[in-house]
Chain A
Amino acid sequence: MITVAQTLEAIRNSSVEDVLNQCIDRIESGTFNTFITVAKESALEAAGKMEGHTGPLAGIPIAIKDNISTRGIQTTCASKILGGYVPPYDAHVIERLKAAGAIIVGKANMDEFAMGTSTESSHYGPTLNPWDPERVPGGSSGGSAATVAASEVPLSLGSDTGGSVRCPASFCGVVGLKPTYGVISRYGLISYANSLEQIGPIASNVEDMTLLFNVIAGHDARDSTSVAGEKDYTKALVDDVKGLTIGVPEEYFGEGIDPAVEKSVWDGVHRLEELGASWKEVKMAHTKYALAAYYVIAMSEASSNLARFDGMRYGLRLEKDHDWHTTYSEIRAQGFGEEVKRRILLGTYALSAGYMDKYYLKALKVRTLIRQDFEQALKDTDVLIAPTMPTPAFKLGEKISDPLTLYMADVNTVPINLAGVPSVSLPCGFSNGLPIGLQVMGRHFDEATIIRTAYTFEQNTDFHTRSPEVA
């Protein structure tokens, strides 16, 4: 995989244009279907203006998940309904990236409207896992993680609603962060489940991930859930966990966990113990209800957020108009894929008269109990460690036909979004050549401690140095 430091070195030895052209060549000759749109022209134009730029990411190519608005570059959410849509404005994170000198090389493939765990629901075809092309890269930010794993780009952005940055980071052997809710502005992120989702950085190592996070985090008045305050997260890149207490929640090592995943994560905890941390088991009693609560809330919010796609102001419009309701209903039936329709239907039902209290309100109350589990567990521990995914990457087609089985894969990632706490996934082992992800969770706004823990683990292991063999 490619690091930011290597890319900056390459730029010094040649030029921004040369490095960018090599990057685009790798993307265009890649075989994993990592991108929906490659923005060659605008990227080369940006590279031409980079002379003398002193930003922290000056000349660094970056891939952006296709649900983050980029002025002048097609943004489809991997859906037929948004095919050809070109946003007239940049998301807040894109403004920040441009100011830092990063060059947007294109829009990464994803599950349609970020709904999925495998990037198989993309209208533009699935992304393949660079470690084994017969397997999924994880989802929904599968293109964003796979492009980093395949050494196409050093950095990418994903979005994480129920694990959509951490799941593909785990399956692709890269590092991905879901920050505290509110730390990164969602302005310009096309909403799926707004009370849960956060944009998240993806890189090949903790230092690069932190560098990218530092650039995109910060207050934005255009997002009313954005939190004020600026921090320098790179100060947390400290190789030291002495005195840190790790909590290990037994509920995250439950039924269906792969023995190799369990062993690798425990080995990780013990490695940190050798480096000076201590650990204890913690109880998080409501974890088993997190999946159901998450899907009720996510689908309810999705049914509301996706009501805006009517084919009038942007997106798919059919040849012939009928009356309003018929036109609207046909456009949406043809424009949305199966998983999106399923979630809209379930969300509409959960919010309909007579059922709102039974499903939506109940899920929000369970959410409170899950949040309290985290507050309790993190009272006398500094971080929590658990597997990101219960298994390594599964095969394409293996779970897509059975929605409930696919939803079950998110069991260890969704509680974090319900509670709004930060969590990072980083490689901690391999099973039959497939990467395993370790998840470090922390208190609200305490990204610094999870970065420090992840960085120390990385500095004292070599999992992050391995790359898939890419032709």
Chain B
Amino acid sequence: MITTKDVEHIGWLARLKMEEEQLEGYAGQLNSVLDYFGQLDEVDTEGVEPTFHVLKVNNVFRDDEVTGCLTHDEATGNAPRTQDGYFKAPRII
């Protein structure tokens, strides 16, 4: 059972700010969806390997060669705030 306190914590983990009045609504919705997910418990998966990828593929390697890439201006062109050609981020500490 997910409580409003749990929703707040999940929101913190997911970097999603929650308003106090939203917590109860999300808790209700999350509980009903998780209840539904609970039906997976009925399935016997003893000895069944998980499918991470539907095709039997292996790692793909390529030669370590320099190819074309975005210019500095293209790479930073969509940033809302830049300074001296860098992305400008808020303080971390």
Contact = CB atoms under 8 A, between A and B. Distances in A.
Nearest to A351: B13
Nearest to A321: B90
Given A329-B15, A345-B7, A366 B79 contact: no
Contacts of A293: 40
Contact of A419 (B54, B60, B81): B54
Most buried by A among B52, B54, B59, B78: B54
A364 B50 contact: yes
A88 B55 contact: no
A325 B15 contact: yes
A328 B92 CA distance: 11
Contact of A328 (B15, B29, B37): B15
B84 interface: no
A333 B18 contact: yes
A365 B55 CA distance: 15
B43 A369 contact: yes
Nearest to A307: B15
A84 B78 CA distance: 8
Q: Is the interface of A mostly helix, strand, loop or mixed?
A: helix
Given A330-B17, A368-B49, A404-B36, A322 B90 contact: yes
A30 interface: no
A324 B91 contact: yes
Nearest to B13: A348
Q: Is the interface of B mostly helix, strand, loop or mixed?
A: loop
B70 A89 contact: yes
Interface in B16-63: 16-18, 26, 29-30, 32-34, 36-37, 39-43, 45, 48-55, 57, 59-60, 62
Contact of A296 (B16, B40, B41, B91): B40
Nearest to A286: B43
B16 A365 contact: no
A334 to B, nearest CB: 8
A58 B79 CA distance: 35
Interface in A176-222: 181-182, 195, 221
Contacts of A195: 52-54
Size bin of chain A's contact surface: 35 or more
B85 interface: no
Given A295-B33, A330-B17, A404-B33, A224 B60 contact: yes
Given A345-B10, A365-B49, A332 B17 contact: yes
Nearest to A342: B29
Contacts of B75: 88
Interface string B71-91: 000111111110000011111
Interface of A: 84-86, 88-89, 181-182, 195, 221, 224-225, 227, 286, 289, 291-293, 295-296, 303, 307, 310-317, 321-330, 332-333, 336, 341-342, 344-346, 348-350, 352, 359, 361-369, 371, 403-404, 407, 418-420, 444
Interface of B: 2, 6-7, 10-18, 26, 29-30, 32-34, 36-37, 39-43, 45, 48-55, 57, 59-60, 62, 70, 74-81, 87-92
Given A292-B40, A307-B15, A332-B17, 8 more contacts: A89-B74, A181-B55, A289-B39, A312-B89, A313-B87, A365-B45, A403-B29, A403-B33
